[in-house]
A and B are shown apart, each in its own frame.
Chain A
Amino acid sequence: MKKFTHLLKKELRELVTKQLVISLLFTMALFYFIGNITKQEARKAAGSQKISVLDLDKSDLSRSLLGALAAAHFESVPVAAADSAAAVEACRKGATNVLLVIPAGFGASVAGLDPLKIETYAYLRNFSIMGVRRSEIVKAVLGAMNEYLSNNVIKERLPDIDPAALKNPIKTRDFVLIRDRMAEGTASSITGIVMSQGLLIPVILMMMIIYSSQMVISAIAMEKQDKTLETLLTVPVSRTAIVAAKMLAAGIVGLLSAGIYMLGYKSFMSGMTGDMQAGAAGQSVAAKLGLTLSGNGVIVLGISLFLAILCALALATILGVLAEDFRSAQNLIMPVVLLVMIPYFLTMFTDIHSLSPPVKILLLAIPFSHSFLAVQNMFLGNTQAVLFGMLYMLAFFLVLVFLAGKIFSSDKVLTMKLSWKKKKKLNF
């Protein structure tokens, strides 16, 4: 145990370099910075929106319309122009992104139930998510105006009828069912919660697997490149301890790195999706449907993630033996990346039950798939599937560790290599 701890410290010392610490801190700061900016932009978008208005009508109705817009959190900025062309030019470099032109005679035309057309101009100043979202303001403005006008007309013509009851005569009570659980609410109200829990965990897992695997492969490749492996293999310590120390060190550093990355990533994502999160009502519906992780659920999920990482580390150890040097180690990470990306995207964008049997078998043969599916399965109460996945990953890990141990205890640790270069003559 003393020798193992000694080896582990050495591996950690080699992995935790100044470059790694600086890179992690920089990435975290970058995520935090971008997240904060995005959050501010989202808040601006969710707050009162400024729109430019050229009111050529100046009737009571047009003034009332602008009042209705103010009630719907739109701030009208009057434009001093003689016609719409001049107004478009005036707003071109302005601070607002939407121009509304109410034509002369609009009030009278509405009274005659043949309204003149209101012109809207949307300035697309960039194609970022926030920039494109601003163009949606036009729709919202028109919606608010139509709502106001139609309500007014109904009140005038049918004073005893509630305009809302007339426009939406069908009332619904919405229920959501998940297996044997049911709760009152709409499916869309819980989407935010499920997305936030279901999206973040696979991203953490993907990053952890790739990061830790990269470290193990590189650690073994560097030992080969720096010609230190042969010496290490002749010191009085078991080969299993050498392999285990490398795997554990990469796991620890991978876990810490992923944790640091995720802090930054969470800050970034909260900025991106903060306004899309479900409210308290959605939380309540999700809880009734069992779409929140209990204490035991978190433990099971943690074990599932841990097993996936162990599988990745064991696989990376074997791949690391194939590496000749640090450069070839960069190529050898590709199989791990593919084995992570395939289940990551398939589980995110498709329903596994709708896949054809060969694809489904292939997907389930990849150990990481079971961790990606674990959250969904736990939400859906498929405990057996989660447990099967965990057992499969454990078996996969044990087989890989057995293979890695065999390789490290044999000549293969020195003779096995995957080279893209022309074969060189062996020197005895």
Chain B
Amino acid sequence: MGIVLKVEHLKKRYGQLEAVKDVSFEVNEGEVFALIGPNGAGKTTTLRVVATLLTPSDGTVTLGGFDLKHHPEKFRERISYLPEEAGAYRNFKARRYLEFMARFYADTAEKEREFLQRAESICGLGARLDDKVGTYSKGMVRKLLLARALMTRPALTILDEPTSGLDVINSLEVREIIKRYAREGISVLLSSHNMLEIEYLSDRVALIDKGLILDSGTPAGLKEKYHAENLEVVFRSALR
């Protein structure tokens, strides 16, 4: 299993504030890697750096051999990012929105059709795809955006709190979609507050707090190491 993403000693400062102090991790091919931690731990900042939205203050980030600082455009060709509070163009019909996004990645019309078929299958919105996004519920928008993120089968999918603000049913459906596509070999970098979700989806996790990685490993390995029943207890023990 090759390494898709390698983050080494990443630092990110906003003026005097050091949001990420020293973060290093790797994401392997076909692996779901999760960052877990409290608010302000540096999860979203790390994900935004990998997504090319923020420039690192220090450290290196490489994806498929390309360095982020020098080749952000190569990153963008290979990643797909779903922010925590993402939206879609409200005046667009959902199908038109997917077409719009697919065209940035598809070289041919055939490829575009393939992406769209996959997106339809992922979101399961059926005939509602012909409705305007403005008429969608939060859960429907999230499924649409998840479909947009996964339809191109990127080298790395970055999901920031993918079920944030969703009800139980929608959360379950979104988790099922991520799990299904992860099984098919897509690499995922994930962040969440929800430890149960992380345990269900992730192959490996990193515990992050105050901009530093406290520990990392498989959920089972961490639970064994900290003699804990679940990841919440693992996190609390790691903080001590």
A interface vs B, CB < 8 Å? 3, 6, 10, 13-14, 17, 226-228, 230-231, 233-238, 410-411, 414-415, 426-428
Would A231 and B104 be within 8 Å (CB), given that A236-B77, A428-B19 are in contact?
A: no
Cβ-neighbour of B76 out of A10, A226, A236, A426 (below 8 A): A236
Would A237 and B104 be within 8 Å (CB), given that A230-B81, A411-B55 are in contact?
A: yes
Q: Least Cβ distance of B5 to chain A in Å?
A: 14
Q: Least Cβ distance of B10 to chain A in Å?
A: 13
Asked if B39 and A427 sit within 8 Å, CB to CB, the answer is yes
Q: Sort A-B residue pairs by CB-CB distance and give the 10 closest, nearest first.
A: A227-B87, A236-B76, A226-B87, A234-B81, A236-B77, A235-B104, A230-B83, A428-B45, A428-B19, A411-B54
With a cutoff of 8 Å between Cβ atoms, the chain B residues found around residue A238 in the complex are: 73
Asked if A236 and B53 sit within 8 Å, CB to CB, the answer is no
Would A228 and B42 be within 8 Å (CB), given that A233-B53, A426-B14, A426-B17 are in contact?
A: no
Is B153's CB within 8 Å of the partner chain A?
Answer: no
Would A236 and B73 be within 8 Å (CB), given that A227-B86, A231-B86 are in contact?
A: yes
Query: Which residues 38-78 of B have a CB within 8 angstroms of A?
Result: 39-45, 48, 51-55, 73, 76-77
Asked if B85 and A236 sit within 8 Å, CB to CB, the answer is no
Asked if A428 and B53 sit within 8 Å, CB to CB, the answer is no
Asked if A428 and B43 sit within 8 Å, CB to CB, the answer is yes
Helix, strand, loop or mixed for chain A's interface? loop
A/B pair count, beta carbons within 8 Å: 83
Asked if A10 and B100 sit within 8 Å, CB to CB, the answer is yes
Asked if A227 and B51 sit within 8 Å, CB to CB, the answer is no
Query: Which residues 1-35 of B have a CB within 8 angstroms of A?
Result: 14, 17, 19-20
Closest A residue to B107 using CB positions: A2
Would A228 and B53 be within 8 Å (CB), given that A236-B77, A238-B73 are in contact?
A: no
Rounded to whole angstroms, the CA-CA distance of A419 and B91 in the bound complex is 27
Is B177's CB within 8 Å of the partner chain A?
Answer: no
Q: Least Cβ distance of A317 to chain B in Å?
A: 18
Is B79's CB within 8 Å of the partner chain A?
Answer: yes
10 residue pairs bridging A and B, Cβ less than 8 Å apart: A14-B89, A230-B53, A230-B86, A233-B53, A234-B51, A235-B104, A236-B105, A427-B44, A428-B20, A428-B39
Is B180's CB within 8 Å of the partner chain A?
Answer: no
With a cutoff of 8 Å between Cβ atoms, the chain A residues found around residue B45 in the complex are: 428
Cβ-neighbour of A226 out of B20, B51, B90, B104 (below 8 A): B90
B interface vs A, CB < 8 Å? 14, 17, 19-20, 39-45, 48, 51-55, 73, 76-77, 79-83, 85-92, 100-101, 103-105, 145, 148, 211
Would A427 and B40 be within 8 Å (CB), given that A227-B86, A234-B76 are in contact?
A: yes
Would A228 and B40 be within 8 Å (CB), given that A234-B51, A238-B73 are in contact?
A: no
Asked if A13 and B86 sit within 8 Å, CB to CB, the answer is no
Q: Least Cβ distance of B102 to chain A in Å?
A: 10
Rounded to whole angstroms, the CA-CA distance of A427 and B86 in the bound complex is 15
Of B20, B39, B43, B91, which is in contact with the most chain A CB atoms at under 10 Å from its CB?
B91
Q: Least Cβ distance of A223 to chain B in Å?
A: 9
Cβ-neighbour of A227 out of B42, B83, B103 (below 8 A): B83
Of A6, A228, A234, which is in contact with the most chain B CB atoms at under 10 Å from its CB?
A234
Closest A residue to B103 using CB positions: A6
Q: Least Cβ distance of B76 to chain A in Å?
A: 4
Q: Least Cβ distance of B95 to chain A in Å?
A: 14
Asked if A414 and B89 sit within 8 Å, CB to CB, the answer is no
Q: Least Cβ distance of B182 to chain A in Å?
A: 20
With a cutoff of 8 Å between Cβ atoms, the chain A residues found around residue B20 in the complex are: 428
Of A227, A238, A428, which is in contact with the most chain B CB atoms at under 10 Å from its CB?
A428
